[in-house]
A and B are shown apart, each in its own frame.
Chain A
């Protein structure tokens, strides 16, 4: 496995709204995500799932506590250390976050052109290989607006895989997709995970389907976390909010 472990130790994050009332999203939470494994982060809306991803990426700072990616303390990483850390990540955003003014080819080539010294010929070879693997060959000259939602997600995944990341973060990868497209995305995930062995963190509402991919499940609720290292235990839990949540989503 070539993935990296992630750990949260006593991490808190809150947001203040107008009027001085603060909303606690994470309250001194601690958990670990093993290298090369797939972790699903689940929970109701507004429970801090996307915030957790942003904290890992240091797009937001924790109010207290420490987040480690490998042996790097994310909170202390700045400048070149932060740049070096981020090159180890790939991210598939909820809306794919493709650049509208660039073609599919240019979107997928972007990390290679910006972060490597590869020649344009080598970039083209790598991009076309990735596009072919994700069944996007023939679409390289199209713009994101000309693609379906599922294809946009696949382009997003192709872009995220370009630098062979050690950690891949998925923010609700199947939201807004029909069941066939969802299935395609899960198949792609399984295939790329097996090939690259990255650490995968998936934020998803797609329960119970998403559990079939998970080695570990983390539930966020009112600032606290419940961690299940064995997915089967989720179904037999006696935790009240979780019981209700699972029953509603099954």
Chain B
């Protein structure tokens, strides 16, 4: 086969691989969502996962939010003071956080902290035949392993996003009002006047979608660790796929952030 033929053959092979991977991941998503409704429900596992994804991410989210809010406060004050519009600081900080930074940064933090751990855990279960063992015992591995993680992430991420927004706004208040001397009343009023229900709804919708993307990609990569081309074998495959899961879910969050903003705004 000549070089052109070989190139076309490889392109075709890669195309088929991408299609089969997409199909596999789509079925995985359906089975994982369906698993949420199959009885008996694993309440204890759900609570454990909420504790891990939600409560366990509290301080990461807190410090990311406070530093982001404080930086926004300073940056906003610097920019707005050029036009004599320091009074708009509350509005600028809160809108940035509620509509964009809150949902996006929360999802990225959860992807890095909990998504990577979920991917590695399921990947290890796969290569050590624990998932095969579940199937052999006629136990649905989606219901048993994956679905509680799905539900926990879908519950936790919007709550963490709300926490991020609140702490971020407080951070903006610290630098804008306490440090730079913006009037506290105008900071609060600017926030109340400019942030509408529609803006909050956009933030909530984003946080749900990002939660689904992060948990889907993270658990799915781990579940199919043995079928991912170029991932290698054994422990190496788990480490590579974990990195891949964090990168892919972060990229997906950023792409969907733009798409959702463009569609809903």
Which residues of B, 116-138, contact A by the 8 Å Cβ criterion? 124-125, 128-130, 132-133, 135-138
* Closest residue of A by beta carbon distance from B12: A20
| B34 CB-CB contact with A under 8 Å | no
Q: Select which of B13, B132, B137 is within 8 A of A114 by beta carbon.
A: B137
CB contacts (< 8 Å) of A114 on chain B: these are 137, 139, 144
Q: Select which of A19, A93, A163 is within 8 A of B133 by beta carbon.
A: A93
CB contacts (< 8 Å) of B137 on chain A: these are 86-87, 110-111, 114-115, 159, 163
Least distance between B64 CB and chain A CB atoms (Å): 29
CB contacts (< 8 Å) of B139 on chain A: these are 110-111, 114-115
Instruction: Report the contact-size class of chain A (Cβ under 8 Å from the partner).
Output: 20 to 34
Assembly CA distance A128 to B39 (angstroms): 27
Assembly CA distance A110 to B13 (angstroms): 42
| A59 CB-CB contact with B under 8 Å | yes
Q: Is the CB of B130 within 8 A of A59?
A: no
Assembly CA distance A18 to B130 (angstroms): 27
CB contacts (< 8 Å) of B133 on chain A: these are 91, 93, 97
| A95 CB-CB contact with B under 8 Å | yes
Q: Select which of B9, B13, B129, B138 is within 8 A of A97 by beta carbon.
A: B129
Q: How many B residues touch A, CB cutoff 8 Å?
A: 16
CB contacts (< 8 Å) of A83 on chain B: these are 138
Least distance between A223 CB and chain B CB atoms (Å): 22
Assembly CA distance A114 to B135 (angstroms): 12
| With A87-B138, A111-B137: A93-B132 Cβ-Cβ less than 8 Å | yes
| With A20-B9, A20-B13: A97-B135 Cβ-Cβ less than 8 Å | no
Query: Which of B124, B128, B138 counts the most A-chain CB atoms under 10 A from its CB?
Result: B138
Q: Is the CB of A57 within 8 A of B130?
A: no
Which residues of A, 75-115, contact B by the 8 Å Cβ criterion? 82-84, 86-87, 89-91, 93-95, 97-100, 110-111, 114-115
CB contacts (< 8 Å) of A97 on chain B: these are 128-130, 132-133
Assembly CA distance A131 to B178 (angstroms): 66
CB contacts (< 8 Å) of B129 on chain A: these are 93-95, 97
Least distance between A243 CB and chain B CB atoms (Å): 33
Q: Is the CB of A57 within 8 A of B138?
A: no
Q: Is the CB of B13 within 8 A of A86?
A: no
Q: Is the CB of B132 within 8 A of A86?
A: no
| B24 CB-CB contact with A under 8 Å | no
* Closest residue of A by beta carbon distance from B9: A20
Q: Is the CB of A86 within 8 A of B229?
A: no
* Closest residue of B by beta carbon distance from A16: B13
CB contacts (< 8 Å) of A89 on chain B: these are 136
Q: Is the CB of B130 within 8 A of A86?
A: no
CB contacts (< 8 Å) of A84 on chain B: these are 138
Q: Is the CB of B135 within 8 A of A86?
A: yes
| With A95-B129, A97-B128: A18-B229 Cβ-Cβ less than 8 Å | yes
* Closest residue of A by beta carbon distance from B124: A100
Assembly CA distance A159 to B130 (angstroms): 13
Assembly CA distance A18 to B125 (angstroms): 26
CB contacts (< 8 Å) of A59 on chain B: these are 132, 135-136
Least distance between A159 CB and chain B CB atoms (Å): 8
* Closest residue of A by beta carbon distance from B40: A114
Assembly CA distance A97 to B129 (angstroms): 5
CB contacts (< 8 Å) of A87 on chain B: these are 137-138
Assembly CA distance A142 to B232 (angstroms): 33
Query: Which of B137, B144, B229 counts the most A-chain CB atoms under 10 A from its CB?
Result: B137
CB contacts (< 8 Å) of B125 on chain A: these are 99
Q: Is the CB of A86 within 8 A of B128?
A: no
* Closest residue of A by beta carbon distance from B139: A114
CB contacts (< 8 Å) of A163 on chain B: these are 137
* Closest residue of B by beta carbon distance from A162: B137
Which residues of B, 130-163, contact A by the 8 Å Cβ criterion? 130, 132-133, 135-139, 144
* Closest residue of B by beta carbon distance from A82: B138
Can you add 14 more A-B contacts, CB < 8 Å, to A20-B13, A159-B137?
Answer: A18-B13, A59-B132, A59-B135, A86-B136, A86-B138, A91-B133, A93-B129, A97-B129, A97-B130, A98-B130, A100-B124, A100-B130, A110-B137, A163-B137
Query: What are 13 A-B contacts defined by CB distance under 8 Å?
Result: A82-B138, A86-B135, A89-B136, A90-B136, A91-B132, A93-B133, A94-B129, A97-B128, A97-B129, A97-B132, A99-B125, A110-B137, A115-B138
| Those 8 A-B pairs whose CB atoms lie nearest each other, nearest first | A97-B133, A86-B138, A97-B129, A91-B136, A83-B138, A93-B129, A87-B138, A111-B137
